[in-house]
Amino acid sequence: MPTGNPGRQTLEFTAADPLLASFPPVVARDTRTLILGSLPGAASLAVSQYYGHPRNGFWRLLSAITGDDLVAMPYQDRLQALLAHRIGLWDVVGTANRRGSLDSNMRNIVHNDLVDLLKQLPTLETIAFNGGTAERIGRKALGEMATGYRILALPSSSPAFTLPYADKLEQWMELEAEKK
């Protein structure tokens, strides 16, 4: 039986609901900036690509930051271009049950081992969270370890987060200081 606020429909999950998993990290030993999302959405999972939804602004935002036309590149070339700029990608959620793509629909969350990953990145300086859910989960998972890094809380690149692109870009440009 649904619980919670009257008039608000809550989600009930069963064993038949999909258990979704994040992609492997895209990092190199010389990664200086790590961008952490929450968990890939349905469109990204369907094409097995970080930020694979055609309306997600991630690749456009990173194009402005890196000066590379990442949007025009094949996916594997995009990843290599990010690594060349010493930018890595991963998600804070390793697995979760979720219907649809909204972070608010995630249940039974299991975190990725961020602490272990950071130990493998000796030149890491900045951790950027792509959206509020990533920041909330990521800061909790990192605990005191987060104090050793420059932390950026960026607005979500998701089309579900309706902040105008220009406003998102203004905040995402804080990453520009980290390129090359």
88 close to 27: Cβ distance less than 8 angstroms: yes
Identified catalytic residue from 5, 56, 97, 105: 56
Whose tokens are 């090359």? That residue is 180
Residue type, 43: A
Whose tokens are 């190199």? That residue is 28
Query: Is 56 tagged catalytic?
Result: yes
- The CA distance from 124 to 127, in Å, is 8
Q: Give the SS3 label for residue 90.
A: strand
- The CA distance from 178 to 39, in Å, is 24
- The CA distance from 172 to 70, in Å, is 15
Q: At a CB cut-off of 8 Å and minimum separation 6, what does 19 contact?
A: 95, 96, 97, 108
Residues assigned a catalytic role:
56
